[in-house]
Amino acid sequence: MTGLVNLLVLLSVIVIVVRRQLKPRRLDTERRFWLIPLVLAVLALRDPHLVDTAHRTVSIALLSASLLVTLAMGAVWGWTGKVWRKPDGTVWTKGTKATIAAWSGMIAVRLGLYGLGAALHLRQSTSVLLLSLGALLLVRGLVVNWRARNLETSPAAPVAG
């Protein structure tokens, strides 16, 4: 049952995040953007089957590679949206076509990593997906907030990523 719950949580978070990314929205740099990634990480790390104990070394290597790729994808995703300041001083953000392409690429890479794990006969837990999504959202949040802070200190208007 845990796998099904994790999958439902994962799909819900993805739908919410993608919908929010494609609409212009005010960016609150004081918001706790790390909260959802933290919850996802806690849900993932409580799973005793996060690592396949029958193939521990290979499983840890694939998990590590997966997380490194996810961190890179999160950084790329953070640069795909527009970030701008309105005349009233508020900072806004909106995803672009590049954001959709980044999501498509992230899904393709995730499927490829899953396929590699299957080819290596690893038992793969859905908790890996939760941990990866948490890392992805955290890095994306860090990049967008960094861009917003730099925008606030520079005189430039829209910054496209």
> Mind listing the pLDDT tens digit for each residue in 53-69?
999 999 999 999 999 99
Give the pLDDT mean for 17-24: 83
What is the predicted pLDDT for the residue at 18? 78
pLDDT of residue 75: 95
Q: For residues 33 and 78, is the Cβ–Cβ distance under 8 A?
A: no
How much is the pTM? 0.81
pLDDT tens string 82-137: 999 998 888 999 999 998 898 888 888 988 998 999 999 999 888 888 899 899 98
pLDDT digits (tens, 9 = 90+) for 129-160: 889 989 998 999 999 999 998 885 555 445 55
Is the pLDDT reported for residue 44 higher than 80? Answer: yes
Distance CA 156, CA 85 (A): 9
Q: Tell me what the mean pLDDT of segment 8-22 comes to.
A: 80
pLDDT for 24: 93
In this prediction, residue 89 carries a pLDDT of 85
SS3 31: coil
DSSP 55: G
- pLDDT score for 3: 66
Q: Are 6 and 41 within 8 A, CB to CB?
A: no
d(CA 108, CA 161): 21
